[in-house]
Amino acid sequence: MKSLIGMTLKDAKEHAKQELGVKRMGDARFKMILQEGVKKGDFIVEAGILIDPAQSDPLDFFVDTPEPEVIPPKTKTTHPPVVHLDPRLSSSDLPRTGDMYFYRSYSGDVVQGEITSMVCFAECQNPNGTWQCVALQDLHLKKKGVPKETMLDHLRAYYQNNMHLKDERRSLLSEIKALESQVTELKEQVVDHAKKLS
């Protein structure tokens, strides 16, 4: 993005949001854009300003480039990259890594968190440092858009309501045993009847 040359980091972030057509952009996504620009040689970062590499001091071997801050998850690890959405979908309207959204946290409060990776759920880091998976349907740009009942409620109920399946399995297994014993008895009767006839 050579169009960012001459801008401060704050202005560059606003310009990048406009160019990508997004309303919000997290620090992780902006750092990724900066690193990509530095790697391609589009610009370098000097004293908080993006400048053309041709205008930089050729004797200055130490160029300040922003380093991404890696924060290890406190409650769980994120899903493996193999289950993340295909990166070719990045130009769609789906949320992307680094975007900021409002959602209902596991504690029941509506919070704003940064998306760290995408699967069929968005892995979000809550303000208190914990991690949580939030269904795509539950991500909203505005706090007012977050409903009281979320997909999390439906999934929790689904996973907790499996006791009836265990009871049904138990009754089916006992029915199978009863049928097997009846088959064994009938085989014995057939063998006894065949012996009497011969």
**CB–CB of 114/26 below 8 Å?**
yes
Cβ atoms 118, 94 nearer than 8 A: yes
Q: Per-residue pLDDT averaged across 54-63, rounded?
A: 56
pLDDT at 125 over 90: no
Q: Across residues 108-118, what is the average pLDDT?
A: 85
The mean of the pLDDT values for the chain is 76
Confidence band, pLDDT 50/70/90 cuts, at residue 178: very high
**Cα gap 137→140, rounded to integer Å:** 8
Tens digits of residue pLDDT in 23-42: 888 888 888 888 888 888 88
